[in-house]
Amino acid sequence: MNIADLKTTLDPHGIGQEMYRLISELYPICRSITGNGFRETLSIIKTHIPLKVHEVPTGTQVFDWTVPKEWNIRDAYIKNGQGERVVDFRASNLHVVSYSTPVHATLSRAELKGHLFTLPDHPDWTPYRTSYYQENWGFCLSHKLFLELQEDMYEVYIDSSLEEGHLTYGEYYLRGESTDEVLISCHTCHPSLCNDNLSGVALATFLAQHLGAVSRRYSYRFLFIPGTIGSITWLSLNEAQASKIKHGLVVVCVGDSGKSTYKRSRRGNAEIDRVVEYVLKHSGNDYEIGDFFPYGYDERQYCSPGFNLPVGCLMRTPHGRYPEYHTSADNLDFVQPDYLGDSFSKYLAVLNVLENNKRYLNKNPKCEPQLGKRGLYGAIGGRSDAKTSQLAMLWVLNLSDGQHTLLDIADRSGLEFDLIRNVADILVKHALLQECPEPEQSRA
């Protein structure tokens, strides 16, 4: 079985539901860029794919950065004068600013205010805040609740630790025919936020699971990492091997109702860029494609000028373009199985083109070969439209001069990629076509 078969046998609806179940399971865990919440998350993913867990000690120098202290938290609250928990970490881990230092104090409302974060424009929602690289503490709460806080003395308590420890990340490597790699990277460090990025975590998990079961031209590397520091750490520890990555995608925000959006790699015309553009163009759905810009997710690091890897970002609504982004409203209602399943299908379609996007040589390049004597008119079983298949054969023969990939041929002919690939297979079987060898350095 290969990826093309996966594409026809997997039911997007079913996959979407599995993804949604995994998101639901991971949702309550308090994750950050380090700590036990991240480890617990990886151990759940491990029930689906046998990923390898790496632990990188605090203080490790990774390019211009240093692996930070490990953060863990057990409880946190703000109690009013009556001893009631008016803000309670147990209700939502978003209530505590991530990486808050431990605190236990009693403060007036005025003193407390400087440590509180709300969203006046969305008074029912709790914001998500972090303070990774500046030691501080704080609480996030709905603006509605904030307005209800009376003049009072408040007990604030954060039972956290910020200590020497490790940065943890998960890696799953699937060897293919070639050592050339496709990278699938997702940041896994956000707490109870579904679209950003439990949706990406779930998509990567099930993609990895299914790819593990089929034959592969490329090797695949899945990274479950904390945002920014995670990709920097991986690139730093794997600098020499990074050039094996021939194509890559950062998986984020793939569960909301918005249209598919692709952010090109820094190169702008890498094969992954052309493939995703082709898939979205022929998806039948609305979509948007934009150029690389140096902020967003981990593509910032993969596409830094010293690496310049061909890594794009295939998402639905991009970060910051939906109001629920980085708030408590990015919850289990905001992502839906059907959107997740649709995103999964598109990733699969992209990988299907990538895996099959080879270059061929017409072995009979002078004039057309006589298709009729080989019974190649109407040769594709089950196709009602024999004329289209014949046309596809003529296109493949005409453009298989070693300069054009099958995607080039699909693009130029306006015919669908799968037909072009199917026809190429038939022509290979009839010895009219042969695969071009790939450049030396990219063979296994």
Applying CB under 8 A, among 134, 150, 384, 441 the residue interacting with its own copies is 134
CB nearer to its own copies: give 107 or 361: 361
Applying CB under 8 A, among 307, 319, 336, 383 the residue interacting with its own copies is 307
Applying CB under 8 A, among 6, 10, 60, 65 the residue interacting with its own copies is 65
Applying CB under 8 A, among 160, 219, 357, 400 the residue interacting with its own copies is 400
d(C-alpha 33, C-alpha 46), whole Å: 19
Applying CB under 8 A, among 398, 411, 416, 436 the residue interacting with its own copies is 398
Quickly count: other Cβ atoms within 10 Å of residue 27's Cβ.
16
- CA 140 to chain CA centroid, Å, is 27
For residues 184 and 220, the answer to whether their CB atoms sit within 8 Å is yes
For residues 408 and 424, the answer to whether their CB atoms sit within 8 Å is no
Q: Decide if residue 401 touches its own copies (CB under 8 A).
A: yes
Q: Decide if residue 369 touches its own copies (CB under 8 A).
A: yes
* Residues in Cβ contact with 233 at an 8 Å cutoff, skipping those fewer than 6 apart: 56, 60, 62, 65, 67, 167, 169, 225
CB nearer to its own copies: give 141 or 406: 406
**Helices (H), ranges, 186-290:** 200-211, 229-237, 271-281
Q: Decide if residue 235 touches its own copies (CB under 8 A).
A: yes
* SS3 label, residue 85: strand
Q: Decide if residue 429 touches its own copies (CB under 8 A).
A: no
Q: Identify the bridge partners of residue 64 per DSSP, sorted by sequence position.
A: none
Strand ranges inside 116-200, DSSP E = 116-117, 139-140, 153-163, 166-174, 181-187
354 is written with which tokens?
């990538």
Q: Decide if residue 133 touches its own copies (CB under 8 A).
A: yes
Amino acid at 404: H
Q: Decide if residue 130 touches its own copies (CB under 8 A).
A: no
Applying CB under 8 A, among 11, 40, 177, 239 the residue interacting with its own copies is 239
Options 95-103, 170-178, 299-307, 345-353: segment touching its own copies (CB under 8 A): 299-307
CB nearer to its own copies: give 365 or 437: 365
CB nearer to its own copies: give 203 or 235: 235
For tokens 């004329």, the residue is 387
How far are the Cα atoms of 192, 301, 427 from residue 372, in angstroms, in the given order?
A: 62, 54, 13
Q: Decide if residue 293 touches its own copies (CB under 8 A).
A: yes
Options 96-104, 217-225, 398-406, 416-424: segment touching its own copies (CB under 8 A): 398-406
Near its own copies in 265-284, by CB under 8 A: 266
Binding site for its own copies (CB under 8 A): 62-65, 133-134, 228, 231-232, 235-236, 239, 266, 291, 293-295, 300-301, 303-308, 362, 364-370, 372-373, 391, 394-395, 397-401, 412-413
